[in-house]
Amino acid sequence: MLLEISGLRKRFGSVVAAETLDLALAPGEALGIIGPNGAGKTTLFNLIAGRLSPDAGLIRFDSRDITRAKPHLRCAAGIGRTHQIPQPFEKLTVFENLLVGASSRGRSEREAAQCCGDILDKLGLLGRANQLAGSLTLLERKRLELARALATSPRLLLLDEIAGGLTEAECSELVATIRDIHQGGVAIIWIEHIVHALLAVVSRLLVLNFGRKIAEGEPRRVISSAEVRQIYMGIEA
């Protein structure tokens, strides 16, 4: 397994964000995560990426224990992530935003620049390379958020509601881009409320509620579960 999580627990006072969670992800696999607001989805990402430390449990990446590893070491190991709200360096250009990540991988200046150019071209941002990140549209910011994560050459990409706030057409464009990234061999865990976007990419779906796993498996089977429909969609069985 590329990622292995066992017995993961995290509480904030009386609030349960993760309760004895187990999860395994194979290299190149795409997993979707859904659940109501407050289910613990982003907390799980923060635990995987190192922004939070668990109260208990184990996180292994590529057979190495990273449970207490610093975020920059997890990034160096191959874990990249995006955030619900794009967080670019607004006073830097689009190109400079990528260069920060690309330079962290031990590349030469020329190699880092080439990497940034290739990613910007792939994500349709090459024409915005010298534009300040703070002036981008929402879709462009979402693409830049994705591009910044890709600049670190991740083997595992954590996508946190990256399609949120986009029009249907913009969402379709983004889904096509994410599908291409996945087909290129990058493993993906994607949190998203736009379920049809997830179903276009992922092969497995996990449902969380109050920090607990309530369903996992083939996406359409999980979505049709009476328990999932009641908890996530508010539809009585």
Give the pairing type, strands 3-12 and 56-61.
Answer: antiparallel
Task: Parse the chain into domains and list their residue ranges.
Answer: 3-233
Would you say 71 and 51 are in contact if contact means Cβ atoms under 8 Å apart? yes
What's the CA gap between 35 and 120, in Å, rounded? 32
The full length of the chain comes to 237
What are the backbone angles phi and psi of residue 121, rounded to the nearest 5°?
-65, -45
Residue with tokens 């995560």: 33
The predicted-structure confidence for 1-50, as pLDDT tens digits, reads as follows 999 999 999 999 999 999 999 999 999 999 999 998 889 999 999 999 99
The predicted-structure confidence for 166-192, as pLDDT tens digits, reads as follows 899 999 999 999 999 999 999 999 999
pLDDT cut 70: percent of the chain above it: 98
Q: What is the pLDDT of residue 146?
A: 95
Q: How confident is the model at residue 236 (pLDDT cuts 50, 70, 90)?
A: low
AA letter at 103: S
The predicted-structure confidence for 46-68, as pLDDT tens digits, reads as follows 999 999 999 999 999 999 999 99
pLDDT at 233 over 70: no
What's the CA gap between 218 and 220, in Å, rounded? 6
Q: Which CATH class is domain 3-233?
A: alpha beta
What's the CA gap between 93 and 128, in Å, rounded? 8
Q: How confident is the model at residue 82 (pLDDT cuts 50, 70, 90)?
A: very high
pLDDT cut 90: percent of the chain above it: 81
What's the CA gap between 191 and 146, in Å, rounded? 14
